[in-house]
Amino acid sequence: MRSRITGTTVAASVLVLIVLIVLLAPWLAPYPPAEQNLTERLAPPSAGHWLGTDNLGRDTLSRILDGGRFSMSVAALATVSTCLLGVAIGVLSARRRGWVDEFLTRTNDVLLALPEMVVALFVVAALGTGFGPLLLALTVTGWTPFARLARALAYDVSARGFVEAARVVGCRSSFIVLRHVLPHLAAPILGQAALRFGHLLISVGALSYLGLGVQPPQADWGSMIASAQPFADRAPMGILAPGLVIFTVALCVTLLGQRAARRTAPPLLLPAGTDS
Amino acid sequence: MLHFITKRMATLVAAVAVSSFAVFLIPYLTPGDPVRKIIRSRVAGDAVDEATVQGLAESLGLDDPLLAQYLRWVGDVAGGDMGLSYVSRTPVAEQVLPALAVTLSLVVLSLGLAVSLALPLGIVSGLRPGSAADKAITAVTQALIAMPEYWVAPVLVLVFALELSVLPTAGWNDPSSAVLPAVTLALRPISFFTSAVRAGIIDSAAADHVLASRARGLSRAQSVVRHVIPNGLVPLSTLFAVWFAGLLGGSVIVEVIFAVPGMGRLLFDAVVNGDIPLAQGGVVVVVVLAVVVTTAADLVHRFLSPALGASLA
Amino acid sequence: MTAGLVLDGLDVRTDSSESRGTPLLDGVSLSVGPGEFVALVGGSGSGKTLTAMSCLRLLPPRLAITGGSIRLGDLDLTRAAEQELNSARGGRLGMLFQQPGRMFNPNRTVGHHLREPLRLHAGLRGVGARSRALELLAEVGFPDPARGLRAYPHQLSGGMAQRAMTAVALAGQPEMLLADEPTSALDKVLERQILQLLDRERRERGLGILYITHNIASVAAYADRVLVMSAGSIVEEGVTSELLARPRNPYTRELLTAARLAPESRRRQPSTEREILVLDEVGKSFPAPRGKRHTALEDVSLSLRRGEILGILGQSGSGKSTLAKAVVGLESVDTGSITRSPDGAGGDRITAVQLVFQEPHSAFDPRMTLRTSLRAPLHARRELTPRERDDRISAAMEEVDLDESLLERHPGQCSGGQLQRATIARALLLEPRILICDEATSALDALSQRTILNLLLRLQREHHLSLVVISHDMDVVRYMCDRVAVILQGRVVEVAQTRDFFATPLHPHSRTLVAASIPCRAEGLWAALHAPGLVRAPDGKASRDEA
């Protein structure tokens, strides 16, 4: 029990720290991220360049700090948009039932069968690279896990006695959704959102790695790995450092998400036999 | 059961119809005139005049209603005619099928690896939740989820190909060239499968009927082997299928990094080069396969867990 | 060496490592001889199930036997090695559980469950095992044993599942059977069938039975001896007729009081007031597997007069709950009509009909305090100030004898009886004219049940409510209702004044129901138990619920 609490605390603090550093990057970064210094190409870590430099002599640390903003904000926005869309669809599905539910669930099934990366490739191909298309690419398929979870939970809640009780005493559907359904969804959805943020962060990196995310000279964690890869044997830090940052952030949010998802049980009922 | 199969098949057909229609629309949705795109697939440069363009549009029936064009396209694709690639000027089918074979072997290899690791790990973990072994396994699986493939792959190459020189850096020639791609691809499925097995085992061990089986005289080991483990593994069948379907086209990163000539690489190249017929052909094949695989998994799941049908019907 | 099962001074505590652990069983001594039917009765949480699980040595992880002994013939179960225990469990010592549906592995057929004990304890495999399994299923009353073997648990009804479980328990040819509330999930008709089955095994094979229950009626009917358990100890023990007729221990008396709902205590004139609810040929069906439809209600015509108490009797699955939901508007109907207040008085507003649910714990959102939940009905009444709302809530709580302090609690902190009263309070806030009680007391223990029924009767009198009491419990219907309607497979098969109905049920199904409610072996005893003077007056305030 003790170790889990500390684990959660550590994960939360590390995450907050990284987010703060990334937000404050323009003031904290030792060099401008795009500043080239061709005399110092592929330099190993040193006092001047803590994480060394890349093949154009750009400071790796400064580029990581700068690149975080793109990766994290696309992932965060995609998480929020997929979450809102998914919860809306899932709750609608569960409350309306009938053909609406059938249609939305089947759509979800089809999207589940579509490889996420392929869909993303197509959106990017159709709309071009950049922030907006990337966000859309991740949202098209990204809402499905939220919709599945929200639908299952909303179904569950709607079948509980207190929702029927609320209907019997004349509460409107909107009241029931706001007061009974959504509060029950909150914790598991939050947990799912954290897990998805980690996943989306990795996906943003993947698209950037493939050259479909940010365009040079702007940096992004994924594209940094891609551009450092040909020089991996001479300057391994160019790959290791950005990857480690993605890994750390993804791990922290995963830990926090699983923690939140675990705390979904409603307040414990009295055990049988304490009735008297 | 029969009713379920019919219903699932109907869904399958609908899914294929909807997604193939979406694929069919790609040239209309992407910027540029579809006819120009077709011309570009046959003639290099701008040597074709306006009258020829008009004539081609008519002869290809591009002025027909969209639905008629779609049905004609579906007929062609079903007959194996997916058109010519813009880039290589060869029939798309001739590129897609070999790529599919490569991807299939890669996916089977890495999912096989994932399952053979996840089963023992998940079972050990799930039978004694909270134990030191469980904590270690859980920690490792959580770490694996957070590892981007485009980071793991270069690091593996750095270590095994460049430093130790025991495995090739890239390519798809001999069996040893499959090791690094398969391992990289297996990391996240290992993690997801292990957690699924663990959760399944914990759930199934807590079920009342396990206690009842002890009361029938089964020893703990017998009850674990006969009831806890088989029931705990049922959810894995669905998860396996989802991953299988997902990796058919989703191994893009790994295939690009290791230069594996599979579907991921093919789709990536097609998108990057604007090679629409190739992309269309590739996506149609991937999607149809994916839908078939998930449908089959549903049937298997229903067969393994008969009560599910009754509760969901 | 005594034959049968003998417990001597059995102690079970939490956490075996420290003798300080909380005692859960405290010096339990009992014996069940071969061919004996011994009942162990007590309220929920008194330690009955724990006693059975101790005998099997299958206690939950953190509990341990800390003293005393359990012997089965020559075998000391407290000292036996794991291997000996495995051969005793399901072999010499059989076990029948409460919820048969949950005790089957859902992914395995009945045949698979039967093969396990046959192989382990009777050494039967293959064809031999199959023919014995068929025999067992035939014995417990499967009409088609071969089909039964292939059936998956979810394909069995509650009654058939418990029969199948009985076959599994008998497969190892036990000399002693622990039956833990084997029928409490079943209705009276099925209960009787299962108990008769067990009793036949007792007579024919000399099976000893430890029958754990809270159902006094079935005890009176079958048990040779009765043990009464409270808070982990046996408080009274005796021959059934003796103990039921002359209970000495106060707790036993309380239990017996609770079990007794004086029959025909209400002798009222048939109501002649105007009809307040009319159901005219109501029909409702649901989609069923394979594209068929399951008919839940068919041509149901009923009427309810103002101030009347109408009972609706039926077994589980008969369509009772669908009827309740249709009347309050939770379910639409396919055919026919439901008219509330046909004369127009009180309007056709839906909230004029309120529902009291079966499961009080689920009727409240676990995240909200009772006060928040009770505010919901007043949500639409915009003319009320917050102050007036709270006043109304307080008044409603007072009406149902609940302390206002409960309003600040969450449902998880309240007892079932308290919550059921809060449900009634919530319904009263809307000033209903009709109250539908859908198995409103079946989830409660006997004492709370009684309190709630009396509360409903009082409210009915004070507010001149019309009540619809939906139940499978004959005693509840007989205690409460003026008129009874019997529902079978979605159809109303008989409607009669309560007294006429119980005296002369006409429809064959009504006769089965009435017959099942009177125990077979001890009708005289049952009558004695129901004689006046044994217990306190029915209208006493529930002391236990406030505790």
**Domain CATH code at residue B262:** 1.10.3720.10
User: Is there a contact between B294 and A222 if contact means CB atoms under 8 Å apart?
Assistant: no
Helix (H, G, I), strand (E, B) or coil at B121: helix
Which chain A residue's Cα is nearest to C544? A276
Question: Considering the domain boundaries, does residue B90 fall inside one?
Answer: no
Whether C104 has its CB under 8 Å from any CB of chain B: the answer is yes
Which residues does chain C have within 8 Å of residue A162's beta carbon, measured at their own beta carbons?
A: 362-365, 373
Please, what sign has the CA dihedral across residues B179, B185, B187, B193? negative
What was the pLDDT predicted at B46?
Answer: 63
| Whether residues B60 and B137 fall in one domain | no
* Neighbors of chain B with 3 or more C-beta pairs under 8 Å: A, C
Residue B64 lies inside a defined structural domain of this protein: yes
Single residue among B33, B51, B78 that ends a domain in this structure: B78
Asked, for residue B154, whether it belongs to a domain, the answer is yes
Burial A128-148 (b: 16+ CB within 10 A, else e): ebeeebbbbbbbbbbbbbbbb
The pLDDT of residue C521 is 38
**How far apart are the CA of C154 and the nearest CA of chain B, in angstroms?**
6
CA dihedral C21, C22, C24, C25 (to 10 degrees): 60
B130 touches chain C (CB under 8 A): no
The reply to whether B159 and B263 lie within a common domain is yes
Find the mean pLDDT for residues C404-413. 87
- Which of B2, B218, B313 minimises the CB distance to C116? B218
Distance from CA of C164 to the nearest CA of A (A): 27
Classify residue B111: in a domain, yes or no.
Answer: yes
Contact check, Cβ <8 Å, A164/C330:
yes
- A31 HSE (CA, 13 A, CB side): 19
Query: Structural domains in chain A?
Result: 56-268 (1.10.3720.10)
Mean pLDDT of the region C535-545: 33
C415 touches chain A (CB under 8 A): yes
State the average pLDDT for chain C: 82
Question: Is B15 found in the same domain as B122?
Answer: no
Query: Of B78, B107, B133, which residue constitutes the final position of a domain?
Result: B78
Q: Does C107 touch chain B (CB under 8 A)?
A: yes
Q: Between the CA of residue C257 and those of B257, C250, C420, what are the distances in Å?
A: 79, 10, 21
Whether B300 has a pLDDT exceeding 60, the answer reads: yes
Judgement on whether residues B70 and B31 belong to the same structural domain of the protein: yes
Q: What six digits make up the tokens of A202?
A: 């990795």
CA–CA distance, C230 with C218 (Å, rounded to integer): 19
- How confident is the model at residue C525, as a pLDDT? 44
Q: Are residues B289 and B249 in the same domain?
A: yes
Domain count, chain B: 2
Per-residue pLDDT of C480-526, as tens digits, reads 888 999 998 889 999 998 888 888 888 998 888 887 765 433 444 44
- Rounded to the nearest angstrom, the minimum Cα separation between A275 and chain C is 5
Query: What's the confidence (pLDDT) of residue C522?
Result: 40
Instruction: Tell me, yes or no, whether B182 lies in a domain.
Output: yes
Query: Is the CB of residue A264 less than 8 Å from the CB of residue A188?
Result: yes
ipTM rounded to 2 decimals? 0.80
Of A106, A109, A239, which has the smallest distance from its Cβ to B151's Cβ?
A: A239
Residue B88 domain-assigned (yes or no) = no
Task: Using the structure block, give the residue that is written with the tokens 């358990």.
Answer: C229
B225 or C347: which carries more pLDDT confidence? B225
Expressed as residue numbers, the domain containing B45 is: 2-78
In sequence order, the 6+-apart residues with CB closer than 8 A to the CB of C40 are: C30, C48, C51, C210, C211, C212, C213, C226, C227, C229
Same domain membership, residue B196 and residue B57: no
The verdict on B101 and B136 lying in the same domain is yes
Strand C275-287 versus strand C335-340 pairing type: antiparallel
Supply the pLDDT for residue A258: 79
**Which of B18-27, B30-39, B227-236, C268-277 holds the top average pLDDT?**
B227-236
Contact (CB<8Å) A250/B146: yes
Vertex C71, ends C66 and C74: CA angle to 5°?
140
Domain identity same for B110 and B240 = yes
| Mutation target among C51, C251, C367 for the A interface, most CBs of A within 10 A | C367
pLDDT for res A265: 41
Q: What is the pLDDT of residues C239-257, one digit of tens each?
A: 988 888 888 888 888 877 7
The whole-number average pLDDT for the span A162-188 is: 85
Task: Name which residue leads in pLDDT, B116 or C445.
Answer: B116
What kind and span of H or E run contains B243? helix B229-250
**Angle at the Cα of C494 from the Cα atoms of C525 and C356, rounded to 5 degrees:** 80
Query: Does the pLDDT at position B310 exceed 60?
Result: no
Residues B125 and B62 in one domain: no
pLDDT tens readout for residues A124-171 = 777 777 788 888 888 888 898 899 889 988 888 887 888 888 888 888
Contact C400, C454 (CB under 8 A): no
**pLDDT of A1 higher than 50:** no
For the residues B115-129, what does the mean pLDDT come to? 94
A interface residues, C as partner, C-beta within 8 Å: 160-162, 164-171, 175, 179-180, 183-184, 266-276
Contacts 24+ apart (CB under 8 A), B65-74: B69/B24, B70/B21, B70/B24, B73/B24, B74/B20, B74/B24
Judged by CB atoms closer than 8 Å, whether chains meet at B290 and A113 is answered as yes
Set of chain B residues whose Cβ sits within 8 Å of the Cβ of A122: 26, 271, 279, 283
Q: Would you say A216 and B258 are in contact if contact means Cβ atoms under 8 Å apart?
A: no
Give tens-digit pLDDT for C64-100. Answer: 888 889 999 888 988 888 899 998 998 899 999 888 8
Q: Please state the rounded mean pLDDT for residues A226-251.
A: 84
- Number of residues in chain A: 276
Q: What share of chain B is helix, strand, coil (3-state, %, to 5)?
A: 80, 0, 20
C427 has a chain A CB within 8 A of its CB: yes
Contacts of B277 in chain A (CB under 8 A): none
User: What's this model's pTM, rounded to 2 decimal places?
Assistant: 0.79
> For testing the chain A interface, which of B150, B285, B295 should be mutated: the one with the most A CBs within 10 Å?
B150
Question: Do both B202 and B107 map to the same domain?
Answer: yes
CB of C419 less than 8 A from some CB of A: no
Instruction: Assess whether B105 and B214 both reside in one domain.
Output: yes
C-beta of residue C140 within 8 angstroms of C-beta of residue C163: yes
Question: Is B147 inside a domain boundary?
Answer: yes
**Which residue segments constitute the domains of chain C, with CATH numbers given?**
1-92+174-259 (3.40.50.300), 102-173 (no CATH), 275-523 (3.40.50.300)
In a domain, B91, yes or no: no
What gap in Å lies between CA C296 and CA C438, rounded to an integer? 16
In this structure, the answer to whether residues B140 and B257 fall within a common structural domain is yes
Kindly tell me the sign of the dihedral angle through the C-alpha atoms of C117, C122, C125, C128: negative
Contact C373 A162 (CB under 8 A): yes
